[in-house]
Chain A
């Protein structure tokens, strides 16, 4: 393979990786704010994928127009999930919130497989690509990365420039102190959880414009999100985006040389190594 080919593969990896970063931002936002690992993350990504499929094939909506409904729907589902499975776990042993979100994930995946089975779905999306040398970057990849950048920027503005966003960050920093300052912490926690789920859903929808998927695809993408957030540092949305890009870069770098089926093994090895060697994340910014 030529040098150009490798560079093209890396660039494409970075485009796709940014979408992984978007998914991971949802997971890490929830973790950072309420110390809950949302194990429904995988099924929420899948829910986004199926939302794209149903909205385009049944209602005939243009693929990229589903972004807003998915965002709003994900937010509402996230609110419901918070009240069902997470609210009662706040302040209890971490084991309990792991198990409660894990069990909801089982229910959702179980219901999904009962309805749709585990067959492969594919949503045809066409968008003109960009050609460089002999390599064409698919338009879907470019657009997914661009939309990711827009959403990430909106999230940044929301968290750092609005009152509500500042409330979320305050609760993440010190819940008790935030409560004493008059911030309604429960509502802020619900909001953060819903936002995290909405991000997972949107990233699932974007991933579905790139690759075919099954109902069980969530596990693999959830693992990718974990890798990304340990790279980026837990509870750090900016780090998550960088981590996603790094993971995409790595995938782009190895795919020309290693069979695709090994990618998961490599990602797992990376995951455990990083967890052990850099427990605060590779891209973790120095925070007190």
Chain B
């Protein structure tokens, strides 16, 4: 494993993310990188289902949002400590994804995609009406929550490093899956599900497993993200824009490639930062994300990495 070049790529990315803001205690840089870690985590996990197994999930944000809700809820009234609440939230979301997955993954192609839109809308509508989660006004955490982590200042750094670690774990997971037998099965499903099954791939189990596995890390990221802001409400937790952006990022970087989502997330984040500071474009974020996606789908369906691998096939064997 240590001899694989990609392992060192991941290590380098994680090191840069961790060190860059820590040097000189640059809080502003850290806050801008928080969003990048979340983007990479969401896109990388979604890529396992979308890019490998070929199932478009329009509602991947559900995992992130539910993880956030469960974590904030458990830290609130039951007053569980952060690590316990976080892990419980992650495990619960994974389990829920497994149960959901066994159901809706019986659907193929477009039917599944429609169901995922429904899942997102349905879960958001449910949470808005669910009083323990504060309904549409959401849940707050008291500032004292940061005390066990050494006060708000230290806590924000710890949360950031954890988010970086989750991002690294996501990248490694997507890499390990791709090289594994499990990943081979998922890729086969993505190409031709019937043929895969005839070749012996246990398609239903693998799909549900992939769905559940890729729910865990986004749920942790959601828990940390909303712990950090000490506040969660349905419109933030289940913001479809996030799901959409994750798809744009994957397609931009290259669906089904390991490095693509990370590269796509970086480029998208740069583009977005540039657009947000521009007066003309700040209102047109969705328009630009949509146009970008349309251009990629029409003219560059393999994304940037797909294009690079097409030109230099050796690069693929080096990085994948």
Contact = CB atoms under 8 A, between A and B. Distances in A.
A31 B103 CA distance: 23
Nearest to A220: B121
Contacts of A262: 125, 129
A279 interface: yes
B263 interface: no
A125 interface: no
A271 B115 CA distance: 8
Given A103-B297, A110-B284, A226-B114, A272 B104 contact: yes
A114 interface: yes
A114 B286 CA distance: 10
Nearest to B191: A93
Interface in A205-226: 219-220, 223, 226
A175 to B, nearest CB: 17
B129 A261 contact: yes
Nearest to A273: B103
B79 interface: no
A96 B301 contact: yes
A275 B107 contact: yes
B318 interface: no
Chain B contact residues, majority secondary structure:
helix
B121 A223 contact: yes
Given A98-B113, A279-B107, A106 B125 contact: no
B251 A110 contact: no
B284 A94 contact: no
B227 interface: no
Contacts of B287: 106-107, 110-111, 114
Contacts of B103: 272, 276
Interface string A82-120: 001100110011111011101111110111011000000
B58 interface: yes
Contact of B114 (A37, A84, A100, A219): A37
A269 interface: yes
B165 interface: no
A265 B115 contact: no
A247 B52 CA distance: 36
Question: What is the size category of the interface that chain B forms with chain A?
Answer: 35 or more
Contacts of B286: 106-107, 109-110, 113
Given A99-B56, A107-B286, A111-B287, A37 B113 contact: yes
A279 B111 contact: yes
A276 B114 CA distance: 12
A259 interface: yes
A223 B283 CA distance: 26
Interface string A217-261: 001100100100000000000000000000000000000000101
B110 A103 contact: no
Contact of B125 (A100, A265, A276): A265
Interface in B94-128: 103-104, 106-107, 109-111, 113-115, 117-119, 121-122, 125-126, 128
B291 interface: yes
B122 A100 contact: no
B57 to A, nearest CB: 11
Contact of B294 (A92, A98, A103, A275): A103
A261 B297 contact: no
A110 B293 CA distance: 14
Given A100-B297, A107-B294, A265 B129 contact: yes
B129 A94 contact: no
Interface string A23-63: 00000000100010100000000000000000000000000
Interface string B272-290: 0000000000011111111
A157 to B, nearest CB: 29
Top 9 closest A-B pairs, CB basis?
A106-B290, A110-B286, A268-B122, A110-B287, A103-B293, A107-B290, A103-B294, A264-B125, A94-B109
16 contacts: A88-B298, A94-B110, A95-B50, A95-B113, A99-B56, A100-B298, A102-B293, A103-B292, A104-B290, A107-B286, A110-B287, A261-B128, A271-B115, A272-B104, A275-B104, A279-B111
